[in-house]
Amino acid sequence: MTKPQAQTKPIRFIQAGRLRTLHDVPPERTVLEVLREDLHQTGTKEGCGEGDCGACTVVLGELRGGQLHTRAVNSCIHMAHALDGLALWTVQDLPGPEGHLHPAQEALVQYHASQCGFCTPGFVMSLAALYQNQGGAPVSRATAQQALSGNLCRCTGYRPIVDAACSMHQLPPASLDNPALRQQLRALATDAKPGADAKPATGAYLAPRTLPELLALRKRHPRAQLVAGCTDVGLWVTKQHRQFGQVIDTTRVEELRQIDRYRHHIAIGAAVRLSEAFAALCQDRPQLQSFADRFAGIPVRNAGTLGGNVANGSPIGDSMPLLIALGSNIVLASSKGYREMPLEALYTGYRSTLMRPDDVLAWIKVPRPQKGEFSRVYKVSKRTEDDISAVCLALQVHIRKGVVAQVSLGAGGVAATPARAAATEAALRGQPWTEATVRAAMDTLRAEFAPISDMRASAAYRRQVLGNLLWRFWLESQGTPAIDIHALQTGPVALEAQP
Residue 5: inside a domain: no
Cβ 129 vs Cβ 76: under 8 Å: no
Q: What is the CATH number of the domain that holds 468?
A: 3.30.390.50
Please report, for residues 236, 314, 348, 359, 360, the alpha-carbon distance to residue 353 in angstroms, rounded to integers and kept in the order given.
19, 11, 5, 11, 11
Answer yes or no: do 300 and 448 share one domain: no
pLDDT digits over 324-370, tens only?
999 999 999 999 999 999 999 999 999 999 999 999 999 999 999 99
User: Does 490 map to a domain?
Assistant: no
**Is the same domain home to 210 and 358?**
yes
Per the domain annotation, does 104 fall within a domain? yes
Reported as half-sphere exposure (CB side, CA atoms, 13 A), residue 194 has a value of 11
Least-confidence region, from 221-235, 246-260, 479-493: 479-493
Query: Which of 313, 339, 367 represents a domain boundary (last residue)?
Result: 367
Same domain, 348 and 258: yes
Residue 272: band (very low, low, confident or very high) from pLDDT cuts 50, 70, 90? very high
CATH number at residue 315: 3.30.465.10
Q: Are residues 377 and 357 in the same domain?
A: no
Its pTM stands at 0.92
Q: Please check whether residue 182 lies inside any domain of the structure.
A: no
pLDDT of amino acid 47: 94
Quick one: which of 52, 125, 71, 37 has its CA closest to 251? Answer: 71
Is the dihedral angle over the CA atoms 294, 297, 302, 306 positive or is it negative? Answer: negative
- DSSP string spanning 367-393? EPP-TTEEEEEEEE-SSSSSB--SEEE
- Mean pLDDT estimate for the chain: 92
Residue 257, domain member (yes or no): yes
> Given pLDDT bands bounded at 50, 70 and 90, which one contains residue 8?
confident
Q: Does one domain contain both 383 and 471?
A: yes
Q: Say which residues have a Cβ less than 8 Å from residue 452's Cβ, sequence separation at least 6.
A: 459
Of 367, 386, 410, which residue constitutes the final position of a domain? 367
Confidence of residue 483 (pLDDT cuts 50, 70, 90): low
pLDDT classification of 493: cutoffs 50, 70, 90: very low
* pLDDT interval class at 7 (50, 70, 90): confident
Predicted local distance difference test score (pLDDT) of residue 491: 40
What pLDDT shows up at residue 498?
29
| pLDDT at position 496 over 70 | no
CA angle 177, 180, 182 (to 5 degrees): 60
Q: What is the pLDDT of residue 386?
A: 86
pLDDT value of residue 203: 84
Query: Same domain, yes or no, for 145 and 30?
Result: yes
Domain-embedded: residue 493 = no
Please report the pLDDT score of residue 320 as a whole number: 98
- 155 pLDDT more than 50: yes
Residue range 293-302: average pLDDT? 95
Is the same domain home to 354 and 415? no
Mean pLDDT of 271-284: 98
Q: Can you give the pLDDT at residue 486? A: 46
Closest-CA residue to 378 (of 419, 318, 324, 428): 318
Q: What is the pLDDT of residues 180-200, one digit of tens each?
A: 999 999 999 988 776 544 455
Residue 481 belongs to domain spanning: 373-485
33-46 tens-digit pLDDT: 999 999 999 999 99
- Looking at the fold, whether 125 and 42 belong to one and the same domain comes out as yes
Angle between the N-to-C axes of helices 103-110 and 120-133, in degrees from 0 to 180, rounded to the nearest 10: 130
Please determine, for residue 497, whether its predicted confidence score (pLDDT) is greater than 70. no
Assess whether pLDDT exceeds 60 at residue 1.
Answer: no
pLDDT tens-digit profile of 89-128?
Answer: 999 999 988 889 999 999 999 999 999 999 999 999 999 9
Same domain, yes or no, for 401 and 324? no
| Predicted pLDDT of residue 33 | 97
Same domain? For 24 and 95 the reply is yes
Question: Which tens digits make up the pLDDT trace of 60-83?
Answer: 999 999 999 999 999 999 999 999
Residue 18 within any structural domain of the chain: yes
Same domain, 331 and 417: no
The reported pLDDT for the residue numbered 149 is 94
Is the pLDDT reported for residue 247 higher than 50? yes
Q: How many domains does the chain have?
A: 3
Question: Is residue 17 situated within a structural domain?
Answer: yes
Assign 484 a pLDDT band (cuts: 50, 70, 90). Answer: low
From residue 82, how far is each of 61, 256, 461 by CA, in Å? 12, 16, 41
Please give the order of strands across the beta sheet that includes 360-367.
259-261, 265-269, 360-367, 329-334, 337-342
On whether both 462 and 331 belong to a single domain, the answer is no
CA diameter of the chain: 74
Amino acid letter, residue 343: L
Last residue of a domain, one of 318, 340, 367: 367
| Measured distance CA(170)–CA(162) in Å, rounded | 14
Query: 403: part of which helix (H) or strand (E)?
Result: strand 403-412
